[in-house]
Chains A and B, each alone.
Chain A
């Protein structure tokens, strides 16, 4: 891939992170149930916890994660973030340690690290979609 293509995606993912990040922010603020509306009592073995603060309301979180639309939003946000962050690191590091094997090693290591984060994040989204938290 040419550097112009890589950097074009870098700028585009930056913009998309703003858009999808806003959806995510909306979800955990305006769209989530208010503490007044929610009072969920979780009874553990030895204790009972009262979860107020709508964002952490268990059934709400579960409902959001099992929705295909929100699941897709999270997966896309994850994809954009992983690309933007790891390519950003590559750019910064290749400037500090330019050229030769070190630069190649940086690219490969960051690619693998990004892939691991992506797979791990996708796993969470998929489990959420299956209602399996």
Chain B
């Protein structure tokens, strides 16, 4: 039967067991694990496996996803003990017959594999993840050389999947810790030569639950699916903060280029 369902899509290589953590806080007293047998084709991802379960075995299983190509950052979960994007994790590459799937850690669970990411977004918002300038309206382009962009380029790749915060041991014990994602974004904007918001971000980044609470475990960088290195950003941020103890860190803010008209002629 399983083979029939998939026959049009490719050859079934083997059948694996998915052990999925199920929990509905509104109905269940405690989380439990349920097992499902899933036929696997070449190229099938863990997300495909979960969707197979949902379509063919148990439609009450909940998971969050959108792009299915590692871009939107929706499908983060713990797969065989490690934080990963389900849509980027090939079942066959895991090399196991048992696939254990848990929701991300350090977040409340909305249902089954769907975490409540409010904390991640709140922390992200708190570091003011945008260019801050003195002038109300930009008069022209803010100029930047490729070298200046290089200083923070890696950190712009963050897709806000929240895997780093799930893996972070400090976030596990300190509910108020900003977390690797927000700290990395704090550095991303401070290091941007167009930005003037260092002072405004200081209260959050240099707070009791900010950059100094990192324990150098490096778990965040280990699990990041986009190759962002939040642990590095945290160390660079500490460097800036330490310099600031002696000499006030001053951002110059880039010059603006010549005034420009848009294509439609409206400036």
Contacts and interface: CB of A to CB of B under 8 A. Distances in A.
Interface of A: 2-5, 7-8, 91, 94-96, 98-99, 103
Contacts of A4: 206, 211-212, 238, 241-242, 244-245
B22 to A, nearest CB: 30
Given A95-B170, A99-B175, A3 B210 contact: yes
A39 B76 CA distance: 72
A94 B208 contact: yes
B209 interface: yes
A96 B245 contact: no
A15 B37 CA distance: 57
Interface residues of B, number: 20
B207 interface: yes
A103 B170 CA distance: 16
B181 to A, nearest CB: 18
B208 A103 contact: yes
B72 interface: no
B213 interface: yes
A25 B201 CA distance: 44
Interface in B198-224: 202, 206-213
B153 interface: no
A97 B52 CA distance: 42
A98 B175 contact: yes
Contacts of B202: 2
25 contacts: A2-B202, A2-B206, A2-B245, A3-B207, A4-B206, A4-B211, A4-B212, A4-B238, A4-B241, A4-B244, A4-B245, A5-B245, A8-B242, A8-B245, A91-B212, A91-B213, A95-B173, A95-B174, A96-B174, A98-B174, A98-B176, A98-B177, A99-B175, A99-B176, A103-B208
B212 A3 contact: yes
A96 B209 CA distance: 11
Given A2-B245, A3-B211, A103-B208, 20 more contacts: A2-B202, A2-B206, A3-B206, A3-B207, A3-B210, A4-B206, A4-B212, A4-B241, A4-B244, A7-B212, A8-B242, A94-B208, A95-B174, A95-B177, A95-B213, A96-B173, A98-B175, A99-B175, A99-B176, A99-B209
A4 B241 CA distance: 6
Nearest to A7: B212
Contacts of A91: 212-213
Contacts of A5: 245
Nearest to A92: B173
